[in-house]
Chain A
Amino acid sequence: MYIHQHICISPQQTNGVVDLEIINSSQDGKLLAIEPQLQGVPPSMLRRMSKAVRMGMGAGLPLINEKNIDGIIIGTANGGMEDCIRFLNQIIDYDEGLLTPANFVQSTPNAIAGQLSLITKNRTYNATHVHNGLAFENALTDARMSLLEKPGTQYLVGGVDEISSYNYNIDYLAGWYDKTKSNDDLYSTHTPGTIAGEGAAMFIINDIADNAFGKIEAIDAFQSTDKEQVEARFKNFLDSYIPDTNHTLLISGENGDSRFLPAYATCEFAIGSSIPVARFKHLTGEYPTSSSFALWLACHAFHEQGLPAHFYKNEHNLTQIDRAILYNQYQGKQHSFILVSR
């Protein structure tokens, strides 16, 4: 399957005029996405939208308006969590009194795909995958199957997640975040915890090779807490799909949390030191569907035939990029490998 148009909303300059040389800094351990300017959304609707929905509209609406879309397939772990916690707070604070339903209706994770469909009057296939760190990978698998079932169709596929007071606080208490860390030196502090992030990256995906930004060759997504299993599956992935590793880039989801370095290191070692490693979470922070940003970054790297120096983990002499392998894992439990080629 081939990637055509794409839009990426993130904490950095990725939407509209792309500039990855300048890096916006994190504040208090968070990287907030730059708000999109929404076109064609009624103000009454806009007022009710959570940031996840606004980011989803900002990335998705321009793409749908350009194309005939045969399905809207979204991966989001949390959807509109901010609305969820607002409603939850109402329930407790008003002791289950008569509440207003707006936050409740907006809080369902399928609000993003639902609103995209509603605004564009698109009544095609509509799916919301919410399996945490594998939500976006499942959305891609869904699109791949859809293309096999109906050649000649095309899909809007995206990954969206927001930082909400809810998930930030609960994940913070669970030890996933460290408020003292920043994206200036994310990879040099060898301690647990990382910075929180958010974003939305969406793609038009079809089976037409002409003028495509990239081709998704293979996906492997699984759950495991065993480093050996991750290594075995990665080696198997390389053996199955990557005959030669010339002009190849490894895009790594390394996030500065010392607990997960071994898993990333294992994969870097397995592929060999001649393959340059590019990291991206100093731009995005950590969130469950961040692999959608990594896929956007791969397309950007193909287009530019390079990336700014700050992405690279080590010195490299890569002058041509034909292939990118994305390895991302979430909270040590969920792992995915995605192979994209030019």
Chain B
Amino acid sequence: MSRIVVTGIGIITAIGTTADENRDSLVHAKTGIGKARFFNSRYTAHLPFGEINQATEQLAERLGIENNTATRTDLLALHAAKQAITDANLSKEDLSGSDTALIGGSTVGGMCLTDEMYADANATGISNSPYLTSYSNSANTSFLQLYFNIGGLINTFNTACSSSANAIMYGARLLKNGVAKRVIAGGVDSLSKYTVNGFNALMILSGEPCKPFDRERKGLNLGEGAAFLILEREEDASGKKIYAEVKGYGNSNDAFHPSSTSAEGEGPYLSMKRALDIAGLSPAAIDFINAHGTATENNDETESAAMLRLFDQAPAFASTKSYTGHTLGAAGAVEAVYSILSLQHQEVYSSLHFKDAIDSTGLKPVTQYEKRDLNHVMSNSFGFGGNCTSLIFSKM
């Protein structure tokens, strides 16, 4: 079975518009969570967000997009996908070939246009809205397909916060099964009234910067971002720069509750275990975990419980959501990029704002940036609806 490798990465988050900028923020413990300047919601007055430091118009201008139907979600996806495609030197012919697949993942999709969608959904008579085809949660994938003229299989996942982790998993499987020769896989979400109000109604938004795995954690901060990976089979990538191997992936449903995880972390435990099985690794082989670590009461405790069940000794771990906020459907791909950067530079990034361990688990995340020998890094993403996915990236 040929190895699946990463030959390109692209990313935009609150802590940078390139992989280098993101890494620089992570190395220097610079968070992107703060006051939102562009996002229009009542909640920007008193809740912090992981907002990307560019207005939508500015993003469009930089990307040379003149059509007024592109949403912020579309533009963020384009920014990250373009970087990844350039990074992997994919040609026009590569992109238009029927063996190039594009797999996206998004939670909010085009619903970032909450007000416009409200107007159109309740409109009577003729609407001149330019957005009638922009709202779906697959709209951003179709936007990329059209922009790059992608000729192969096109798909979008929506498994809430594990969407883009599943997109990467599906992409790796398409390559292994010979359905595609090249895969562009990742995800995107932008800040929206829809998700802010949803999470606020669930009372899991923190009024201060989030504190993953801390005893006094108060909930999550919403963020936005996009990240894409280029995946290829090792034999097709000779002569190319190779970042890492996609060694394992696992998916499970926790089957407990629509918006929280079971106390013993059954779904997280199974997704991590299945990823190890596919990778052919023992738990002890994992050097670091980029945790889901949303900083909600429920997630951090149950994710810790699952780690304690699976590992004799929990590996070093941290949550980069303390930098970017929770980027929802994009989180799996964003954190895949961070896991890859960790492997590439043999370093781990600190979890911010941690003070005291959760009583029931005693687990402490990494709180200092440090150089470290890493062979295998696991990245977790768990979503509403019980969807849990774990990915394992390995040094080549």
Contacts and interface: CB of A to CB of B under 8 A. Distances in A.
Given A91-B197, A96-B197, A105-B259, A173 B123 contact: yes
A270 interface: no
Contacts, number: 193
Contact of A108 (B133, B255, B384): B384
B141 interface: yes
| Secondary structure of the B contact surface, majority rule | mixed
B42 A95 contact: yes
Contact of A110 (B151, B155, B387): B387
A130 B253 contact: no
A149 to B, nearest CB: 7
Nearest to B170: A142
A46 interface: no
Given A126-B159, A141-B153, A108 B385 contact: yes
A132 B136 contact: yes
Contacts of A91: 114, 118, 193-194, 197
Interface string B81-118: 00000000000000000100000000100010011011
A125 B252 contact: yes
A208 to B, nearest CB: 20
Contacts of A115: 258, 385
Nearest to A122: B255
B198 interface: yes
Interface in B183-204: 193-194, 196-198, 200-202
Contact of A130 (B133, B137, B176, B177): B137
A110 B255 contact: no
B120 interface: yes
A342 interface: no
B59 interface: no
Interface in B38-91: 41-43
B98 A222 contact: yes
Interface string A108-132: 1111011101101111111111111
A221 B102 CA distance: 12
B253 A123 contact: yes
Interface stretch (A16-24, A163-171, A251-259): A163-171
B138 interface: yes
B386 A118 contact: yes
Contacts of A104: 197-198, 201-202
Interface in B160-181: 160, 166, 170, 173-174, 176-177, 179
Interface stretch (A30-38, A78-86, A274-282, A289-297): A78-86
B184 to A, nearest CB: 14
A96 B43 contact: yes
User: Most chain-B CB neighbours within 10 Å: which of A123, A135, A149?
Assistant: A123
A117 B255 contact: yes
Interface string A227-251: 0000000000000000000000000
A209 interface: no
A174 B139 CA distance: 15
Interface string B258-278: 110000001100100000000
Given A108-B107, A121-B255, A169-B122, A145 B173 contact: yes
Nearest to A118: B255
Contacts of A122: 253, 255
Given A110-B384, A110-B387, A123-B255, A101 B198 contact: yes
A21 to B, nearest CB: 36
A79 B158 contact: yes
Given A91-B193, A134-B155, A114 B118 contact: no
A117 B156 CA distance: 21
Interface residues of A, number: 64
B118 A88 contact: yes
B131 to A, nearest CB: 9
Contacts of B121: 85, 88, 165-166, 169-170
A121 B257 CA distance: 11
Interface string A135-156: 1001001101100110000000
B256 interface: yes
A92 B270 contact: no
Contact of B387 (A126, A142, A149): A126
A166 B123 CA distance: 10
Given A88-B118, A91-B193, A130 B158 contact: yes
Contacts of B158: 79, 108-110, 128, 130
Contacts of B174: 145
Given A121-B255, A125-B252, A99 B384 contact: no
B282 interface: no
Nearest to B159: A110
Interface of B: 41-43, 98, 107, 111, 114-115, 117-118, 120-123, 126-127, 129, 132-133, 135-138, 141-142, 145-146, 150-160, 166, 170, 173-174, 176-177, 179, 193-194, 196-198, 200-202, 251-259, 266-267, 270, 383-387
Given A85-B121, A100-B201, A114-B253, 9 more contacts: A95-B42, A110-B158, A110-B385, A118-B255, A123-B255, A130-B158, A169-B122, A221-B153, A222-B98
Q: Which 3 A-B pairs have the closest CB atoms?
A: A114-B385, A104-B198, A126-B253
10 contacts: A79-B158, A96-B42, A109-B137, A131-B141, A141-B179, A144-B177, A149-B177, A169-B120, A221-B154, A223-B146
